[in-house]
Amino acid sequence: MKKFLCGVDVGGTKLSAGLFEEDGTYIDSRIVFNHTTLGCDGITDSIVVIVRELLDAHGLDESLLWGIGVGIAGHINSKKGLIITSSNFKSCFRNYPLRSKLARKFRTNIIVDNDANAQAYGEFKFGAGKTFSNIVFITVSSGVGSGIIVDGNLVRGMAGTAGEIGHTIIDPYSEIECSCGNKGCLMSISSGHYLPQLYLRYLKRGYVSQIGISEDNLDAFDGRMLEEGVKRDDEISKHVLNDSASAVGVGLYNLFQILNPEIFILGGGLVNIGEIYIELIEKRFLSLVRHMMYDRVEIRSSALGCNAGLLGAAALTLE
Amino acid sequence: MKKFLCGVDVGGTKLSAGLFEEDGTYIDSRIVFNHTTLGCDGITDSIVVIVRELLDAHGLDESLLWGIGVGIAGHINSKKGLIITSSNFKSCFRNYPLRSKLARKFRTNIIVDNDANAQAYGEFKFGAGKTFSNIVFITVSSGVGSGIIVDGNLVRGMAGTAGEIGHTIIDPYSEIECSCGNKGCLMSISSGHYLPQLYLRYLKRGYVSQIGISEDNLDAFDGRMLEEGVKRDDEISKHVLNDSASAVGVGLYNLFQILNPEIFILGGGLVNIGEIYIELIEKRFLSLVRHMMYDRVEIRSSALGCNAGLLGAAALTLE
């Protein structure tokens, strides 16, 4: 009998649930925005409501699902179905047993995992990684995360926190402190959250902003402003774009040495700036890898588009 | 019927073959030292001779082996049984089909792999990693290498070159150039081959050697001299030991974020300096990992002792 996939994406701005055919074809989705103000159980209840609504709207029973996959930003112990911690919400999840809570409401397989792992698995099943089995998916957005697939299996590690490449240290003498408290983490020298600090470095060196950014309105310098600045030929924006891409290029290079994957798949807000950013990453990567690459590693952008989070979560049910 | 394991360790100074019981118990070994001057086929012939000698001495036929595992320093494509390249020998191996060459001489399973992978697998089967399934084995010797085991399987990657953590970049502004041509590779700021350059940094800063090392005899500063210098309270030696261990600690931390293993197993010449070195590595690791470690990662030294290379290669036949 024909079965379906259900994915839930618990993000920092929206909570959504999507229904897909087995081959990843989108059917329908539901979305709510007020979930971040709710407590843990409140968020769980919201998930139950929108998934049930989605199933009812299509006259489906959960027995017709391969399962429900939930992707959530944070440290997730997928084996145990626990949210160890997640910083996106008002209520702090601390070892919250989301899987068992949802299992009481749906008689189907429930999988809970980190959103980057989910997206990596989605790319593997339905996206840019479809023809590969050794994949690293990297998302450069407000932070930097990754999902690693080795020989067709997600690498989760002991506690489930594998893939946190944003916190690998690649520049120990950087003056920028990461949210984790260390200095020189990949994410603190590349990702959206740190764009103001990356911009500030050039202001302090005496560069003049051509897009009206000063120390007083630094926080306005986000991903969109970066894209705008590059378009308007702002010298600092171009430097920041290059610095960010260059750091990600070093991150890719380190992952190449450690995992020797077949393909790097790039996603997230900064990557969506487009080819110019990806080309800068690739340039830095190739400048480091030189004679050490025997089989060419592919570098491509995500192919799942705007439903990447939902489809990734849904794909987990096929694991 | 009782079966045996045979391991071959093709090193830069010696070529050896060992025979073991299925549980890893050592039976006997053979060793030759002249192999590095031979051509590729000459080395292959030497392997055949010492393995045959070993089997004959115990009245064994290769049908009584689980197989013959060969560990060799270099880039190895284990899937294809090729030595892509290895720099330890006079004759350059370039895509040399060692497995098929040996398969013509022995009617048993032949596995060829990188020596660090072999040792990692040996630790997993018989050593410090016996009770774990997510393991990173790191060797800090003249260079730095590693073998990675995820869910009980060796991670080899596309071309077989996974685990090259020695070439991950953790200090892009380092002035020391690695043999690969990049700057700030983990191995170039921690391993035996670079000890003279690490020592030189302090001489240039005006430190005075208390063990008679100057710019003229820098090359004398090897692992043994480092150990000696630390014992004799030479200020520079103590700094170099700390710098090396600290770099390895950052390497471990990065691997922790990427793979979240259960255990790090340390081996190689510098690690044999002892507890003082391992404690410095651990100190740096813990200073970085802080609140980000949910389940405690073990850090232990290799438990296979002086037969680690042979037993590791032999263990590959049980994969």
Q: Which residues of B touch A261 (CB under 8 A)?
A: 157-158
Task: State the pLDDT at residue A87.
Answer: 75
Residue pLDDT tens, chain A, 319 long: 899 999 999 987 889 999 999 999 999 999 998 887 888 899 999 999 999 999 999 999 999 999 999 999 889 999 999 999 887 776 678 899 999 999 999 999 999 999 999 999 999 999 999 999 999 999 999 999 999 999 999 999 999 999 999 999 999 889 999 989 999 999 999 999 999 999 999 999 999 999 999 999 999 999 999 999 999 999 999 999 999 999 999 999 999 999 999 999 999 999 999 999 999 999 999 999 998 988 999 999 999 988 899 999 999 999 9
Distances (CA, A) of B12 to A93, B28, B35, B78, B178: 53, 21, 9, 19, 19
Determine contact: B80 vs chain A, CB below 8 A: no
The encoded tokens of residue B232 equal 């004799």
Our CA-based measurement puts residue B255 at a distance from the nearest CA of chain A, in whole angstroms, of: 8
Pick the residue from chain B with its C-alpha nearest to A183.
B288
Answer yes or no: do B169 and A258 touch at CB < 8 A.
no
Answer yes or no: do A84 and B294 touch at CB < 8 A.
yes
A24-52 pLDDT, tens digit each = 999 999 999 888 788 889 999 999 999 99
Alpha carbon B31 to its chain centroid, in Å, reads: 19
Determine contact: B100 vs chain A, CB below 8 A: no
B-proximal residues of A, 179-218, CB under 8 Å: 180-182
Determine the Cα–Cα distance for residues A265 and A303; give it in Å rounded to an integer.
9
Strand (E) positions, B22-81?
A: 26-32, 65-72, 75-77
Task: State the pLDDT at residue A222.
Answer: 95
Considering chain B, what percentage of its residues have pLDDT values greater than 70? 99
Q: Where are the domains of chain A?
A: 4-127+306-318, 135-302
Pick the residue from chain A with its C-alpha nearest to B183.
A288
Task: State the pLDDT at residue B91.
Answer: 67
Determine the Cα–Cα distance for residues A89 and A12; give it in Å rounded to an integer.
7
Among B193, B6, B199, B224, which residue's Cα sits nearest to residue B88? Answer: B193
Determine contact: B286 vs chain A, CB below 8 A: no
Q: Could you give the count of Cα atoms lying within 13 Å of A264 in the half-sphere of its Cβ?
A: 27
β-partners of residue B265 are B137, B300
Among A74, A60, A53, which residue's Cα sits nearest to residue A11? Answer: A74
DSSP reduced 3-state for B128: coil
Task: State the pLDDT at residue B223.
Answer: 95
Among A119, A113, A111, A77, which residue's Cα sits nearest to residue A95? Answer: A77
CATH 3.30.420.40 matches A135-302: yes
Our CA-based measurement puts residue A292 at a distance from the nearest CA of chain B, in whole angstroms, of: 8
Our CA-based measurement puts residue A257 at a distance from the nearest CA of chain B, in whole angstroms, of: 5
DSSP reduced 3-state for B94: strand
The encoded tokens of residue A115 equal 């959103």
Determine the Cα–Cα distance for residues A316 and A7; give it in Å rounded to an integer.
8
Answer yes or no: do B157 and A288 touch at CB < 8 A.
no
Determine the Cα–Cα distance for residues B163 and A292; give it in Å rounded to an integer.
13
- DSSP state, A56? H
Return the CATH fold of B135-301. Nucleotidyltransferase; domain 5 (3.30.420)
Answer yes or no: do B162 and A254 touch at CB < 8 A.
no
Model's pTM, two decimal places? 0.95
Pick the residue from chain A with its C-alpha nearest to B247.
A172
CATH 3.30.1240.10 matches A4-127+306-318: no
A225-267 pLDDT, tens digit each = 999 999 999 999 999 999 999 999 999 999 999 999 999 999 9
Would you say residue B288 has pLDDT above 90? yes
Pick the residue from chain B with its C-alpha nearest to A255.
B168
- DSSP secondary structure string, B144-210? EEEEEEETTEE---SSS-TT-GGG-BS-TT-SPBPTTS-BSBTGGGTSGGGHHHHHHHHHHTT---S
| Burial status of residue A318 (CB atoms within 10 A of its CB: 0-12, 13-18, 19 or more) | middle
CB atoms within 10 A of CB A232: 11
ipTM for the predicted complex comes to: 0.94
Determine contact: A251 vs chain B, CB below 8 A: no
